[in-house]
Structure 1
């Protein structure tokens, strides 16, 4: 059977997963685009996060324009769900809708990794690059500078 829909509107894209470079972030964490949002026409972005032992803290925050879903690949990640921190071991999946406070960190003695699905595919690659530059320079941003950074890239509201 042939689909009679608008076949001409379909656009198949190919990207070599894992080809993006990792950005070293605060707390020793690194993030790398596995499938950047531009490859999926902005429908989603998929990012790999590596969290070192006792590090990789991403403080509680929220996103107004996109959801995030976390799949822990190995190790155990502590995830904040807006009310409490709880362990997410390898194989766990957590979904955070738009506007919901969340955060994550690795409290364990072993490294942890997770895949983070962002929907729609927000422009995270430039955001991660700038965070890496800030971290490498040892800069401490003021609240106003954080607000401006978040507004430019992802319209994130800190809690």
Structure 2
């Protein structure tokens, strides 16, 4: 696939999306990277926990801009704060929890654009200046779209103590 906009910095910030009641921006996906990566930004409240999941075809990286999360990978838990990075390899179950007292601002990067495709498929655009109203996600839709994009939702994160 040919990258339609191969020069970095030429694109305005994307519109906010409502992904699982979280403010989310898809900075790069299939079109911007020729399918080679996803770059998704989220603001996530304290206590939020991702599902335990696995990317079959993509590695996932977490870069914390602000706040603190605990990342769970392969039976280990690691606290990751602002300016720090964690890695979840493909085919290895993982997840994260916002463990700090403030919201976390994350960049989620995958080596393939399936994650951005998934986020786009299960999120809705948010009008400029509008707030996201908390709501329960359509779990059947989330699971179906995850499977379509090479992810499997495995359930809640297992009880693993942080290092």
- The 1:137/1:12 distance shift into structure 2, 3 A limit, reads closer
* Larger radius of gyration between Structure 1 and Structure 2: 1
Residue matched to 2:94: 102
5+ residue gaps, structure 2, are 125-132, 155-163
Match of 1:29 among 10, 19, 22: 22
Q: Cα RMSD (Å) of the superposition?
A: 2.8
SS in 2 for 1:19: coil
Partner of 2:14: 20
Q: With CA pairs under 8 Å and 6+ residues apart, which has the higher RCO, 1 or 2?
A: 2
Equivalenced residues, count: 144
Report if aligned partners of 1:18, 1:35 keep a CA contact under 8 Å in 2. no
1:131 aligns with 2:122: yes
The 8 Å contact of residues 96 and 102 in structure 1, kept in 2 or not, is answered as: yes
1:122 aligns with 114
CA distance in 2, matches of 1:118, 1:139: 23
Q: What is the CA–CA distance in structure 2 between the aligned matches of 1:11 and 1:130, rounded to whole Å?
A: 21
Separation in structure 2 between the aligned mates of residue 99 and residue 65 of structure 1, nearest angstrom: 7
Distance 1:54-1:17 versus aligned 2 partners, 3 A rule: farther
Unaligned runs of 5+ in 1: 1-8
Determine which of 145, 150, 156 is the counterpart of 1:155.
150
Query: So what's the TM-score if we normalise by structure 1?
Result: 0.74
Q: Is the 8 A contact 2:26 2:39 kept in 1?
A: yes
